[in-house]
Amino acid sequence: MEKDSFAAKQFLRIKDLEEKNAFGLVGTYLLDYNKKIVYGDRTLCKIYGLEYRKDGIPLDEFQSKISIEDLEAAKALREKHINDKQAYEIEYRVEIRPGEFSWVMAKARAEVVDGNILYEGIVIDITKRKDAEFALSQQTKLMQTITDNASSALFLMDAKGFCTFMNPAAEAMFGYSYEEIKARPLHDLVHHHYPDGREYPINECPLDAALRNNVELRAKEDLFFHKDGYPLFVRCAVSPVFENGLPVATVIEVQDITPQKNFEKILQEQAEHLSILNTVGQTISEDLDLQNILQKVTDATTKLTGAAFGAFFYNVIDARGESFMLYTLSGAPREAFDKFGMPRNTAVFHTTFSGEGVSRVDDIRKDRRYGKNSPHQGMPKGHLPVVSYLAVPVISKSGKVIGGLFFGHPEPAMFTQIHEDLVMGVASQAAIALDNAKLYEEVKLLNAKKDEFIGLASHELKTPLTSITGYLQLLQRSETSEVNKNFIKKTIEKVDKLTSLVNDLLDVSKIEAGKLQLHLENFDFKEVLNESIEIASYSNSTHLIHLNCCKDPLIIHADRQRIEQVLINLITNAIKYSPKANTVDIEVKRIGNELTVGVRDYGIGIAKEKQANIFSRFYRVEELNPNISGLGIGLYISKEIIDRHNGKIWVESEIGQGSVFYFTLSLIQS
């Protein structure tokens, strides 16, 4: 082969490449087309899996090695170039041994020498390259299949933040075509706002910074946006890609977790609803204050409905029988409402206040009942912006509409059946609580009337009693028979008893009116104690009263008469409620600056569950003492007196074992 022939040049170039390991074997050949003989070198024969023959190899035998699929194309190409001296090249498969193929590239050129057609060419074994190409194409196909079928959206973002690839899932998830998305930075298209509604500048975006800072982000939850503007809760993974140490791209995988998030939100909302319902139910049933109940119900239902503001209008009838409306607000300041006065009997409100039923309107401005009334023809100017509207009547057990709960939202269609049901649930609980509060108000009113009567009656009784006592004392001093004197003495005793009852009743009304006055002075408690024991002993012949007390004086700063009143009351009770016993023990203890007095009897005792009640007004434990008379106010007055002296009063007792009544008072430092 000549050094500058085409084949030689090609050969040298290829050989060079071969040495660089770019190609496999390279062989050369000469084809005598007239004789149909191929003269190939040893390498060529090796490439074709043929024995080397110095005299050449018949073309047919040579061609038999070319795979059937490629042979015709190879022949056609050779024929095509038979006269034009143009170099041509072709790739085809060679069956070296049965079933074993390799890929070759043949480069050749034809020449006519003395009427003989000669082809000279080289053949390169390109199996390695073909295998690599095949593997690559397989890999690409596989990648394509994976990205096409992935349920996650996949984006490839270049170093400038522009999208260079997106898969079908990404198109479906975000609504953009690739043409649209590649035009602007990806961040500006799908990630432009923070979840709280603020604009999201690209320089604050960690996804964008991932490549710059070479950080991977895993399972990052975020909010992306669809082309139509609605938000998508997503979980994304972000991986920067480097080539030769240079940042080239960011792979972003995005999963739409909106359904999951919505589900979580529903669960959370339901838990919140339950807890609100639970607390509101409990607190309003415990509350008897009207305004408190109204406020709690308004707050709870406003929260439950997600309303921007809620109001509870409530019909009240006052003591004079006049009807007026109370209301509470949630989510809006009172000023926002005050200037509009109470809701009037317009078509919109009529549905609620007549008890017809619930009104739930997606857009009140489009409701047929709306805007029918002068002067406003709709909402007055400056009214809270109500678009979504929900109103639920609150109906008492008697069937009377006692009020209505109203909710508003500036956006349309914010209230659903669920909200309606929730409010109706609370409304029925509220109705019960309000009925109770009303009953309680009525009881309070009756009580006040009763107190007023007791005050008046005892006052009226006191004047004639004082006169009777005076006349009796005059009579006592006048000359009369022994029998009469005895009658007069008995009458005076009974009148004294009556006077003390009337005084007790007067004390009760004074306490109720907050007018029980104390006259404080310093005195020795022991003196009062001894006097009280003396008075109690004087009017009783059944019991002996023992006193166990220290010798030193016990100086207190108190109302002498009132303390005596407490002592006499406790001692008299001890005697009265121990009809079968004959002693009462009084013990006085001093601990530090505190005095504790215990009055012990051995009588009928008091059941544990009743002990807290006996200090209440008019409370008596009747079943144990059906024959012992009393008004049930002595302990009530005693407790008030001790409380007012900053002391404590209590009882320890067991049925049938007797009772000990204790009280404490502070001593003056001596």
Q: Nearest to residue 240, comparing CAs of 286, 283, 273, 208?
A: 208
- Pick the closer one to ligand ADP by CB: 312 or 602: 602
Beta strands 388-395 and 246-256: pairing type? unpaired
**Residue ranges binding ligand ADP (CB under 6 A):** 573-574, 577, 601, 603-606, 614, 620-621, 625, 630-636, 659
- Peptide bond between residue 375 and the one before it cis (omega within 30 degrees of 0): yes
Q: Report, in Å, the least distance between residue 630 CB and ligand ADP.
A: 2
**Measured between alpha carbons, how far is 266 from 279 in angstroms, rounded to an integer?**
20
- Pick the closer one to ligand ADP by CB: 253 or 507: 507
- Pick the closer one to ligand ADP by CB: 294 or 570: 570
- Pick the closer one to ligand ADP by CB: 38 or 633: 633
- The torsion of the CA quartet 263, 267, 273, 274, rounded to 10 degrees, works out to 150
Q: How many CA atoms lie within 13 A of 23 on its CB side?
A: 21
Q: Report, in Å, the least distance between residue 601 CB and ligand ADP.
A: 5
Q: Report, in Å, the least distance between residue 266 CB and ligand ADP.
A: 57
- Pick the closer one to ligand ADP by CB: 45 or 614: 614
Q: Report, in Å, the least distance between residue 545 CB and ligand ADP.
A: 13
Q: Are 600 and 629 in contact (CB under 8 A)?
A: no
Q: How many CA atoms lie within 13 A of 391 on its CB side?
A: 24
Paired tokens of 155: 């984006």
Q: Are 281 and 312 in contact (CB under 8 A)?
A: no
- Pick the closer one to ligand ADP by CB: 330 or 569: 569
Return the axis-axis angle of helices 417-477 and 258-286, rounded to nearest 10°: 20
For 228, phi then psi, to 5°, come to: -80, 0
Q: Report, in Å, the least distance between residue 506 CB and ligand ADP.
A: 15
Q: Report, in Å, the least distance between residue 564 CB and ligand ADP.
A: 15
- Pick the closer one to ligand ADP by CB: 156 or 511: 511
The CB-nearest residue to ligand ADP is 630
The helix (H) or strand (E) run that includes residue 116 is strand 116-125
- Pick the closer one to ligand ADP by CB: 14 or 574: 574
192: which residues sit within 8 A by CB, 6+ positions away?
A: 199, 200, 225
Q: Report, in Å, the least distance between residue 644 CB and ligand ADP.
A: 17
Paired tokens of 653: 């007792």
Q: Report, in Å, the least distance between residue 659 CB and ligand ADP.
A: 4
- Pick the closer one to ligand ADP by CB: 222 or 640: 640
Phi-psi label, residue 123: left if phi above 0, alpha if psi -120 to 50, beta otherwise: beta
**Measured between alpha carbons, how far is 61 from 70 in angstroms, rounded to an integer?**
16
Q: Report, in Å, the least distance between residue 554 CB and ligand ADP.
A: 23
- Pick the closer one to ligand ADP by CB: 455 or 605: 605
- Pick the closer one to ligand ADP by CB: 455 or 603: 603
Q: Report, in Å, the least distance between residue 613 CB and ligand ADP.
A: 8
**Measured between alpha carbons, how far is 240 from 214 in angstroms, rounded to an integer?**
6
Residue 314: CB atoms within 10 Å: 23
Q: Report, in Å, the least distance between residue 572 CB and ligand ADP.
A: 8
The label of the residue with tokens 């009897």 reads: 601
The 3-class SS string of 605-664 reads CCCHHHHCCCCCCCCCCCCCCCCCCCCCCHHHHHHHHHHHCCCCEEEEEECCCEEEEEEE
The helix (H) or strand (E) run that includes residue 100 is strand 100-113
- Pick the closer one to ligand ADP by CB: 343 or 634: 634
Q: Report, in Å, the least distance between residue 316 CB and ligand ADP.
A: 36
Q: Are 167 and 154 in contact (CB under 8 A)?
A: yes
